Amino acid sequence: MKALSCLLVLGVAVMLAAGCEPTKKDEPTGTEVKAAAYPEGMTPAMEPPPVTVTPPVTKEVTTPTAATKTKTPPVEKTKTKTPPVEKTKTKTPPVEKTKLPAGAKEYKVVKGDTLSGIAKKELGDATLWKKIADANKDKVHDKDKIVIGSVLVIPAK
């Protein structure tokens, strides 16, 4: 139905564009108009056949709906095997257990630790950092740089 109304509108538009619209001077209202409607020497029998304008054929365009969509084939997955990572076993030398002085304990340094922070946490007073540095002269060479993972001896107060 929609297509028919579109064709009708299109046909009228084509006729208007071709100049087929009747005007008042073309309409026969009396004898004087009839004489003017035909050129000299022409009679109504000699009138050319009427021109009919056929509207162009339009192809109906449809938009795909969910029911008409085609499925794309799934993408083929290729399986590649990665070789297993070789695990190398390295033997770490055994850690020599040193005898701790009486009342001392060990502390493993973690990220973000400072000597004053360790002193505050383990000894209750941040100003005792020097005591920790002195007890670990072999591991602490700079008070501002302690190695993460190293084990420090925390002396007794």
> Could you list the pLDDT tens digit for every one of the 157 residues in the chain?
666 676 667 777 777 766 665 555 555 555 444 445 556 666 666 666 677 777 777 777 666 665 556 677 777 777 777 777 777 777 766 656 667 778 889 999 999 999 999 999 999 999 999 999 999 998 888 888 899 999 999 998 7
Domain assignment present for residue 67? The answer is no
Domain assignment present for residue 19? The answer is yes
Q: What is the CA radius of gyration of the chain?
A: 52
Domain assignment present for residue 111? The answer is yes
Q: Is the pTM of this model over 0.85?
A: no
Domains contained in the chain, number: 2
Contacts made by residues 142-145, CB under 8 angstroms, sequence distance 24+ = 143/115, 144/114
Residue pair 128/96 in contact by the 8 Å Cβ criterion? no
Domain assignment present for residue 145? The answer is yes
Domain assignment present for residue 14? The answer is yes
Domain assignment present for residue 97? The answer is no
Domain holding 139: CATH number?
3.10.350.10
| Domain housing 33 | 2-41
Domain assignment present for residue 133? The answer is yes
Q: What does the CA dihedral 21, 23, 29, 34 come to, rounded to 10 degrees?
A: -80
Domain assignment present for residue 91? The answer is no
